[in-house]
Amino acid sequence: MTASTLGRNLEILEKYRKYADMAELRADCLDPDERLLIRRFPEQAGMPVILTIRRDIDGGHFVGGEGARISLMARGLAYAEADRRRNFAYLDIEEDLNVSSLEEAARTFGTRIIRSYHNIKGTDADLPAKIRSMRRSGDEIVKVSVMANSTRDVLELLCAGRECEGQEKILISMGHFGTYSRILSEQFGSFLSYCSALSEPDALPAAPGQIEVRELANLYRFRNITGATKVYGVTGYPLKATDSPHFFNTVFELEGTNAVYVPFPADSITDLMEISKELNVEGLSVTVPYKEAIIPFLDFQSDEVRVIGACNTLTLTPQGWLGTNTDARGFSDSLLTFLNKPNFKRQRVTVIGAGGAARSVVFELHRLGAKALILNRTVHKARRLAAPYKFAWGGLDERGIEKMEKYHDIIIQTTSAGMEGINPNDISADPAATYNFCGREEVMDLVYKPKMTAFLKRASNAGCNVQNGYDMLIRQARYQYIQFTGKEFPEHFLSRVQFGEI
Ligand code: ATR
């Protein structure tokens, strides 16, 4: 609770009561006058409350001296009531704060101590020793909240926690890299997880990486996560925004499957694979830039992965990690449905781009009988991709575009040009701007944000049938679901599991 008055905190608490099991009153966020009135907050809150007065050096807002802070803590404990529900249930005391009278008072009145350590800059090297030494008496809960600047930092915290299994503790990797430590607190061995009412305009985010309370409760079904919950996720970098958790978690919920799907942003795929092992992750969606880098970690792989050289799906099997590529089938299913055709026989197709996405497309075009021309800005990549299939190739220049005349039944745009977020200054980018559509081409763009790229708009205006990459995205995710669970995809739920906004 980070509002500036107690009244406002109570209002927010009321609104989100059903999602929370306890509240943390961040008294450092209160107006100075309000801080004098904290004693009655637990009774008013009607649920167990943690009293925390965070210093600025630990990422909080308390800038007064330690004397003032300690008196405020004492004020929170004073006049203890026989009915313990009227007292603060927990008091957060930093590990370097030595005030034994405060600790004694807390213990006497049944207020448990959360012994906390914060590092808002990074993750300390000596964490296992730190965790072991922090607890001063048997009933204290150790809290370590450190900034993760990398995937390695999250791994360090996770491993440090493993060394003190069985102890009540709270382990948090702050920041973007550590967001999943807040969802998988059971797997991290944490006693609780903190979240914020971030959609309230006056509720400050209490710490970097905190998740909005309803998102934690509804999207990730935090309260249902136990040691028996199957863990899946998506990894990539920077992985700032991904719709996959929405898709998979909704299906799991509708199906009543005890499983959760979380984002695993990773700056090192090696470290992420170690984390996956530690957390018993059973399936991973793999996205940019790791579709190739993941291959050495596979224990075995599908033919598609071997030929295409890219893998977007990892499934844990008794024999180890199986790598598959659901982009390929997702693409061909989508395009064939759009064309209402069983295969690409007698179709002459231009593929624009020769990157990872194009490799899956070209593999499927060949498998299903098309004749294709591959055009790429960097010509040698087009030639290299075309060679094993004996397809034509060229640059995205005048000569290349001229070649399209013989390959224009279907045109497939696979580059990231025109994609939102990739070229922030230029979503109007059109990789084949000099090609004139005659109106009879069937045109697909793998991009789905925006719904219509500049390229697709031009095709549509010329009278072509056009399709974006959204349907392909859904189809490849359905294949991932089948890989992960070994079950058929529940088609009747499809209309309820759209990928966020499209
Ligand atoms: P993906 O997995 O999305 O295909 P990739 O493997 O990095 O990503 O490939 C990106 C593709 O988009 C490449 O074909 C790239 O062309 P180059 O090989 O010449 O780099 C293409 N691409 C990206 N931006 C482009 C632009 N503005 N115009 C034309 N092609 C572009």
Q: Are 351 and 363 in contact (CB under 8 A)?
A: no
Out of 325, 327, 393, 415, mutate this one to test ligand 1's pocket (max ligand atoms within 8 Å of CB): namely 415
Q: Are 348 and 408 in contact (CB under 8 A)?
A: yes
H helices present in 189-255, as ranges: 213-214, 244-255
The residue whose CA has the least distance to atom 10 of ligand 1 is 355
Question: Does the pLDDT value for residue 493 go beyond 90?
Answer: no
Share of the chain above pLDDT 90, in %: 87
pLDDT of residue 502: 43
pTM for the model stands at: 0.93
The residue whose CA has the least distance to atom 29 of ligand 1 is 431
- Mean pLDDT value of segment 149-175: 94
- Which residue in this structure is represented by tokens 């990773």? 266
How far apart, in whole angstroms, are the C-alpha atoms of residue 368 and residue 386?
Answer: 16
Q: What 3-state class would DSSP assign to 417?
A: coil
pLDDT of residue 427: 63
How far apart, in whole angstroms, are the C-alpha atoms of residue 112 and residue 93?
Answer: 10
Question: Does the pLDDT value for residue 261 go beyond 50?
Answer: yes
The residue whose CA has the least distance to atom 28 of ligand 1 is 431
The residue whose CA has the least distance to atom 12 of ligand 1 is 415
Q: Are 368 and 344 in contact (CB under 8 A)?
A: yes
pLDDT of residue 421: 73
- Cα 412 to chain centroid, rounded: 29
Least confident of 55-59, 152-156, 347-351, 408-412: 55-59
pLDDT of residue 426: 66
The overall average pLDDT reported for the chain is 94
Give 401 Cα–ligand 1 centroid separation in angstroms: 17
Tens of pLDDT, residue by residue over 378-432, are 999 999 999 999 999 999 999 999 999 999 999 999 998 888 876 555 667 899 9
The residue whose CA has the least distance to atom 24 of ligand 1 is 417
Instruction: Show the ligand 1 pocket: residues with CB < 6 angstroms.
Output: 353-358, 376-378, 381, 396, 414-417, 429, 431
Q: Which atom of ligand 1 is nearest to the CA of 359?
A: 4
Tens of pLDDT, residue by residue over 263-291, are 999 999 999 999 999 999 999 999 989 99
Q: Which atom of ligand 1 is nearest to the CA of 429?
A: 27
Give 353 Cα–ligand 1 centroid separation in angstroms: 6
Active site residues per annotation: 291
Tens of pLDDT, residue by residue over 67-92, are 999 999 999 999 888 888 999 999 99
The residue whose CA has the least distance to atom 13 of ligand 1 is 355
Cα–Cα–Cα angle for 468, 473, 477, nearest 5°? 165
Least confident of 117-121, 241-245, 477-481: 241-245
Q: What 3-state class would DSSP assign to 177?
A: helix
Q: CA separation (Å) from 304 to 166, 308, 384, 446, 451?
A: 44, 6, 17, 19, 28
How far apart, in whole angstroms, are the C-alpha atoms of residue 292 and residue 405?
Answer: 33
- Mean pLDDT value of segment 2-16: 97
pLDDT of residue 420: 84
Q: Are 325 and 289 in contact (CB under 8 A)?
A: no
Out of 351, 359, 416, mutate this one to test ligand 1's pocket (max ligand atoms within 8 Å of CB): namely 416
In this structure, the strands spanning 320-324 and 313-317 are antiparallel
Give 376 Cα–ligand 1 centroid separation in angstroms: 8
Q: Which atom of ligand 1 is nearest to the CA of 423?
A: 27
Share of the chain above pLDDT 70, in %: 98
For residues 107 and 335, which has the higher predicted lDDT (pLDDT)? 335
- Confidence bin at 167 (pLDDT 50/70/90): confident
Tens of pLDDT, residue by residue over 418-470, are 888 765 556 678 999 999 999 999 999 999 989 999 999 999 999 999 999 99
Query: What's the start-to-end Cα distance of the chain, in Å?
Result: 34
Count, residues in the chain: 502
Give 237 Cα–ligand 1 centroid separation in angstroms: 17
pLDDT of residue 241: 79
